[in-house]
C-alpha cells in the first residue's frame, strides 16, 4: 500500500470509528433528545433559529449578542438544519457528528503534512476523534460551535502547511498568498463559529518551532534566530488582528448579558488557583476520563490553597521538564504549550459563568497533549525497536478504550433528567444540576420532586437566581401567586435583566389583581426581551382586563408577527376582536387557533358563541359539541350546546342537554347556575314542538 492509499484508508477508518463510537446517540431511533440546558436558549425556544434561513434571521445571526455570545456561523448552521429538517434533535446531532468526523480527518491530514509522519499523525487524530472528553462538544447541540470551529482550525492548519511549502519555494512564490488568504478566511470563519479560536496564531508560531523549524538558526538548530522569529511574527499580524477584533466583540457580548464575573465575586487569587487545578484536572482526565459531568461547580472561597499551590507547582515542573528537553524533543515543549496556550481563553482567568471547568474546553487543547505523548513514544520505539509491538498494542488498546468510554458517556446525554442525575452522582454540591433537575421536573409537573431539588439548590447557594425563578414558575403553575412573586423578586435581585422573569413577576401580580403593577412589570419585561411572543400574549391579556383593548390587540398581533403559529395569540386575539365587533377577523383567528390545536375546549366555546351571534346555530352546535367532548363535566359548555341546539331548531336534543347541564351544575355546587338553567329549560319546554324530522341530524 503506497503512502497516498494509506492516507485514504486511515481517513476512512477514522470516520468509521467515530460513527461506531457515537452510534448510541441515535439508538434507539431517533436517539438523544435536545437538552433543556442551553439547547432551549439557543435552538428549540428561539424563533430566529426555528424560522430557518431567512433574510431577517441571517441578519440577526450577525448582529445578535443573544446568550452572551457572538457566533454567527454557528447560528447559521443551526438555521440550515432547521430549514432542511425542521427542529429535530436527530438532525442537529447528525450534523455535529459529521462536522466532528470531518475535523478529525482534516486534523490527520494537516498533521501528516506538517510532520511527515503518517502513523503518529493518525494516532493523534484518533485520540481527538474518540476521546470521551469530547462527547460534550459533539452531542450537545448548542455546542455545535466546538466542532464547527474545530473543522475550521484543522483546515487552517492544512492551509498553513501549504503556505509554508509555497513560501519556501521560489518557483512557487507567485501563488504564495493564495494559501495565506485561505488561512485568513478560515480563521475568520472559525472565529465566527467560536471566538476561542483566537489562539490559532499562537499555535502556528509553535508549529514554526516544531515541526517546521522556521525560526531556528541554520548552524544551531536548538537556538532561535531572532530575525527569522521576527519574520514569522510579522507575517501573522493579520491573524493577530482578527483575533483582537474577535476578542473585543466577545467581551462586548458577554458584558451585554453580564456574564463576566466581577473581581468582587472571584478574586484574582481564586481565579489563578482554580485555573491551575483545572489544568492539572484536564491532564488527568485526558489519561483516565472517568466521572465526567456536564457541570462542575466553581469552589469559590472554598478553594483549598494547598491543592492550588500543588497544582501550580506541577504545571511549573512540567513546563520546566519540557523546556529542558527542547533540544532533543522539541515536540514536548510545543505540545505542552499548545495545551496550556489554547486553554487560556477558557481557563477562568476571565471568569464567564459559574463553572470551574468543562469537558468541552479540552476539544482543541488536548491535541497538544496528544502530540507530546505520541511523538515521544515514536522516539522511544525508534531507539528501542523491540518495543514497537507492545507500544502499538498499547496504542490500539487506548483507542478502543476511549471509543468504549465515549459510547458509554453518550448514553448520559439521553435526555435532560438523565444528564443531570448523572452529574449529581459524580459531583458534590452541584447546585446547577439540582436547578436543572428542578426546572425539568416542573415542566413534567412532578412538583414534589422539583421542590426537593430546588430547595437543595437554595441550601447550597441561597442566592441562586435560577433556582428562585424555577420556584416562581412552579408556584405560578400551582396557583400560588404570592409565593411566586417572592421568588421572582429574589431572582431579579440577582439578575435584573432577565425579561422573562419580569414577565413571571407580572403574571404573579396579575393573579393577585394588582393590575397596574402587572402592567409596569410587563413593560419592563418587554423592554428587556421584546422578541418573546408569550410575553406579548400575557401582557395583552392583562391589558384586556384593564380595558386597554386596542393596546391588547397590538400585543397579540406583535406576538403573531414574531411567531405566526402562536396558538394563544390567535385565540386571545380572536376573543378580543369579538368584543370590538370585528367578527370576521375574530372568526379567522379562532379557527386558526383550532387548526393549530384542536383540543382547546375554551376556544371551541368562544367560536361557538361567535357563530351563535351570527345566527349559525348548526356551526355553533358543532363547536359546543367539541367543547363538551373535551370537557364533559363543565355545565357551562353543556348549557351553551343546549342553547345552540335550540337555535338550530332541535329542541328535543336541547332539552336533553339542558337537563344534563342542570344536573352537572347541582353536582358541582353551582346552585345559581342550576337555577338559571332551570329557567332556560322551562322556556325550552314551553315552546311548541316542530316536526320530529327536524330533531335529527348529523351534528347531534
The residue count of the chain comes to 700
Task: Provide DSSP, 633-661.
Answer: T-HHHHHHHHHHHHHTT-HHHHHHHHHHH
Secondary structure of residue 624 in the 3-state scheme: helix
Cα 257 → chain centroid: 16
> CA nearest 127: which of 152, 151, 144, 107?
107
Q: Is residue 161 part of a domain?
A: yes
Please give the pLDDT value at position 3. Answer: 61
Q: How confident is the model at residue 700 (pLDDT cuts 50, 70, 90)?
A: very low
Give the pLDDT band (50/70/90) at residue 179.
very high
**What distance in Å separates the CA atoms of residue 341 and residue 229, rounded to the nearest whole number?**
18
Treating both helix axes as pointing N-terminal to C-terminal, what angle do 635-647 and 651-667 enclose, rounded to 10 degrees?
A: 170
In a domain, 379, yes or no: yes
| pLDDT, tens only, 282-298 | 999 999 999 999 999 99
Please determine, for residue 496, whether its predicted confidence score (pLDDT) is greater than 70: yes
Residues 6+ apart with CB under 8 A from 683: none
Averaged confidence pLDDT in the chain? 92
Q: How many domains does the chain have?
A: 2
DSSP 8-state symbol, 355 = E
Out of 412, 440, 455, pick the residue that ends a domain: 412
Q: Which of 162-171, 185-194, 313-322, 565-574 has the lowest mean pLDDT?
A: 162-171
Kindly tell me if the per-residue pLDDT of 696 is higher than 50: no
Q: Confidence class of residue 265 from pLDDT cuts 50, 70 and 90?
A: low
CA angle 340, 269, 203 (to 5 degrees): 15
Q: What is the pLDDT of residue 559?
A: 96
The DSSP H or E segment spanning 297 is strand 296-297
Binning pLDDT at 50, 70 and 90, where does residue 690 land? low
pTM of the model: 0.90
Distance, in Å, from the CA atom of 331 to the CA atom of 340, rounded to the nearest integer, reads: 14
| Burial of residue 389 (number of CB atoms within 10 Å: 0-12, 13-18, 19+) | exposed
Among candidate residues 382, 397, 412, the one where a domain is terminated: 412
What is the DSSP secondary-structure string of 101-160? HHHHHHHHHHHHHHH--HHHHHHHHHHHHH-GGGHHHHH-GGGHHHHHHHHHHHHHHHHH
Q: How confident is the model at residue 677 (pLDDT cuts 50, 70, 90)?
A: confident
Q: DSSP string of 255-290? A: HHTT-BPPTTTS-HHHHHHHHHHHHHHHHHHHHS--
Helix (H, G, I), strand (E, B) or coil at 329: coil
Domain of 617: which CATH number? 1.25.40.10
Domain membership flag for residue 617 = yes
111, three cell numbers: 498533521
pLDDT tens, 412-460?
Answer: 999 999 999 999 999 999 999 999 999 999 999 999 999 999 999 999 9
- Decide if pLDDT at 264 tops 60: no
Rounded to whole angstroms, the Cα distance separating 94 from 274 reads 35
* Residue 171 pLDDT level (bands cut at 50, 70, 90): low
Please report, rounded to a whole number, the percentage of residues in the chain having pLDDT higher than 90.
Answer: 76
Domain residue limits at 678: 598-700
* Alpha carbon distance 187, 191 (integer Å): 6
Q: Which residues contact residue 640 at a Cβ distance below 8 angstroms, ignoring those fewer than 6 apart?
A: 605, 608, 609, 612, 620, 624, 627
| pLDDT computed for residue 92 by the predictor | 98
Q: Which residues, 6 or more positions from 393, have their beta carbon under 8 angstroms from its beta carbon?
A: none
Query: For residue 331, is pLDDT > 50?
Result: yes
Is residue 207, in this structure, part of any structural domain at all? yes
Q: Which three cell numbers stand for residue 14?
A: 477514522
Query: Does 495 map to a domain?
Result: no
Least confident of 49-58, 63-72, 255-264, 589-598: 255-264
Residue 670's pLDDT is: 87
pLDDT for 698 beyond 60:
no
Residues 189-244: tens digit of each pLDDT: 999 999 999 999 999 999 999 999 999 887 777 788 888 999 999 999 999 999 99
pLDDT in tens, 37-76: 999 999 999 889 999 999 999 999 999 888 888 999 999 9
Mean pLDDT of the region 344-360: 87
Q: How confident is the model at residue 106 (pLDDT cuts 50, 70, 90)?
A: very high
Query: For residues 131 and 283, is the Cβ–Cβ distance under 8 A?
Result: no
CA atoms within 13 A on the CB side of 533: 19
Measured CA to CA, the distance from residue 149 to residue 192 in angstroms comes to 8
Q: Of 397, 412, 427, which marks where a domain is finished?
A: 412
What is the Cα–Cα distance from 339 to 318, expressed in whole angstroms? 12
pLDDT, position 679? 84
The answer, yes or no, to whether residue 693 has pLDDT greater than 60, is no
At 492 the pLDDT is 97
Span of 147-151, 481-485, 508-512, 642-646 with lowest mean pLDDT: 642-646
In a domain, 183, yes or no: yes
Q: Is the pLDDT of residue 628 over 90?
A: yes
Give the CB-side neighbour count of residue 193, counting CA atoms within 13 A: 22
Integer Cα distance of 148 and 138 in angstroms:
10
When pLDDT is averaged across residues 166-176 and rounded to a whole number, the result is 69
| Paired residues of 260 in beta bridges | 352
Closest CA to 521 of 554, 553, 488: 488
Listed residue (15, 13, 19) closest to 1, CA to CA: 13
Q: For position 2, what pLDDT does the model report?
A: 63
Lowest mean pLDDT among 107-116, 175-184, 506-515, 566-575: 175-184
**Residue 203: inside a domain:** yes
Residue 21 pLDDT exceeds 80: yes
Read off the pLDDT of each residue in 139-163 and give the average, rounded to a whole number.
Answer: 97
Amino acid at each position: 500500500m503506497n503512502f497516498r492509499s494509506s492516507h485514504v484508508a486511515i481517513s476512512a477508518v477514522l470516520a468509521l470509528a467515530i460513527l461506531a463510537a457515537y452510534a448510541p446517540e441515535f439508538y434507539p431511533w431517533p436517539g438523544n433528545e435536545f437538552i433543556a440546558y442551553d439547547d432551549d436558549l439557543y435552538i428549540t425556544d428561539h424563533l430566529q433559529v426555528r424560522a430557518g434561513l431567512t433574510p431577517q434571521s441571517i441578519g440577526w445571526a450577525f448582529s445578535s449578542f443573544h446568550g452572551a455570545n457572538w457566533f454567527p456561523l454557528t447560528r447559521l448552521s443551526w438555521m440550515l438544519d432547521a430549514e432542511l429538517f425542521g427542529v429535530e434533535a436527530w438532525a442537529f446531532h447528525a450534523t455535529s457528528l459529521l462536522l466532528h468526523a470531518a475535523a478529525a480527518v482534516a486534523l490527520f491530514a494537516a498533521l501528516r503534512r506538517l510532520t511527515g509522519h503518517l502513523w503518529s499523525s493518525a494516532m493523534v487524530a484518533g485520540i481527538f476523534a474518540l476521546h470521551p472528553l469530547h462527547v460534550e462538544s459533539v452531542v450537545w447541540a448548542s455546542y455545535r460551535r466546538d466542532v464547527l470551529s474545530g473543522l475550521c482550525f484543522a483546515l487552517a492548519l492544512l492551509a498553513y502547511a501549504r503556505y509554508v511549502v509555497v513560501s519556501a519555494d521560489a518557483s512557487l512564490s507567485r501563488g504564495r498568498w493564495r494559501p495565506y488568504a485561505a488561512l485568513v478566511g478560515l480563521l475568520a470563519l472559525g472565529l465566527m463559529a467560536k471566538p476561542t479560536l483566537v489562539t490559532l496564531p499562537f499555535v502556528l508560531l509553535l508549529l514554526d518551532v516544531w515541526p517546521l523549524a522556521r525560526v531556528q538558526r541554520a548552524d544551531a538548530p536548538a537556538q532561535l534566530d531572532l530575525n527569522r522569529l521576527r519574520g514569522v511574527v510579522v507575517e501573522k499580524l493579520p491573524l493577530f488582528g482578527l483575533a483582537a477584533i474577535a476578542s473585543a466583540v466577545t467581551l462586548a457580548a458577554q458584558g451585554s448579558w453580564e456574564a463576566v464575573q466581577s473581581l468582587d465575586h472571584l478574586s484574582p487569587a481564586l481565579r489563578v488557583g482554580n485555573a491551575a487545578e483545572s489544568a492539572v484536572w484536564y491532564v488527568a482526565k485526558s489519561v483516565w476520563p472517568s466521572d465526567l459531568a456536564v457541570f462542575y461547580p466553581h469552589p469559590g472561597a472554598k478553594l483549598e490553597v494547598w491543592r492550588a499551590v500543588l497544582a501550580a507547582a506541577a504545571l511549573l515542573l512540567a513546563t520546566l521538564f519540557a523546556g529542558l528537553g527542547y533540544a532533543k524533543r522539541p515536540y514536548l515543549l510545543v505540545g505542552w504549550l499548545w495545551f496550556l496556550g489554547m486553554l487560556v481563553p477558557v481557563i477562568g482567568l476571565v471568569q464567564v459563568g459559574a463553572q470551574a471547568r468543562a469537558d468541552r474546553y479540552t476539544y482543541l487543547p488536548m491535541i497538544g497533549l496528544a502530540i507530546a505523548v505520541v511523538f515521544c513514544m515514536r522516539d522511544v520505539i525508534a531507539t528501542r525497536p523491540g518495543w514497537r509491538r507492545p507500544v502499538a498494542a498499547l496504542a490500539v488498546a487506548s483507542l478502543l478504550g476511549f471509543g468504549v468510554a465515549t459510547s458509554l458517556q453518550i448514553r448520559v446525554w439521553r435526555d435532560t433528567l438523565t444528564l443531570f442525575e448523572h452529574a449529581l452522582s459524580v459531583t458534590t454540591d452541584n447546585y446547577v444540576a439540582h436547578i436543572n433537575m428542578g426546572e425539568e421536573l416542573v415542566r413534567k409537573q412532578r412538583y414534589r420532586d422539583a421542590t426537593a431539588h430546588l430547595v437543595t439548590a437554595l441550601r447550597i447557594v441561597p442566592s441562586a437566581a435560577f433556582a428562585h425563578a424555577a420556584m416562581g414558575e412552579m408556584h405560578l403553575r400551582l396557583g400560588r401567586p404570592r409565593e411566586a412573586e417572592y421568588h421572582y423578586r429574589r431572582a431579579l435581585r440577582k439578575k435584573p435583566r432577565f425579561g422573562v422573569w419580569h414577565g413571571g413577576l407580572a403574571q404573579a401580580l396579575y393573579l393577585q389583581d394588582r393590575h397596574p403593577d402587572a402592567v409596569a412589570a410587563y413593560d419592563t419585561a418587554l423592554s428587556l426581551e421584546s422578541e418573546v411572543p408569550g410575553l406579548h400574549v400575557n401582557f395583552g391579556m392583562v391589558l384586556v382586563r384593564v380595558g386597554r383593548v386596542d393596546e391588547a390587540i397590538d400585543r397579540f398581533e406583535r406576538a403573531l408577527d414574531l411567531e405566526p403559529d402562536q396558538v394563544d395569540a390567535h385565540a386571545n386575539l380572536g376573543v378580543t376582536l369579538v368584543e370590538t365587533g370585528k367578527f370576521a377577523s375574530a372568526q379567522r383567528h379562532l379557527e386558526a387557533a383550532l387548526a393549530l390545536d384542536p383540543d382547546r375546549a375554551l376556544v371551541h366555546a368562544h367560536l361557538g358563541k361567535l357563530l351563535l351571534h351570527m345566527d349559525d346555530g348548526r356551526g355553533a352546535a358543532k363547536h359546543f359539541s367539541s367543547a363538551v367532548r373535551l370537557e364533559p363535566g363543565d355545565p357551562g359548555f353543556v348549557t351553551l350546546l343546549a342553547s345552540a341546539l335550540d337555535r338550530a331548531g332541535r329542541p328535543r336534543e336541547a332539552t336533553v342537554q339542558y337537563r344534563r347541564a342542570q344536573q352537572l351544575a347541582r353536582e358541582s355546587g353551582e346552585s345559581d347556575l342550576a337555577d338559571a338553567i332551570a329557567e332556560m329549560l322551562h322556556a325550552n319546554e314551553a315552546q311548541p314542538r316542530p316536526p320530529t324530522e327536524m330533531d335529527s341530524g348529523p351534528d347531534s
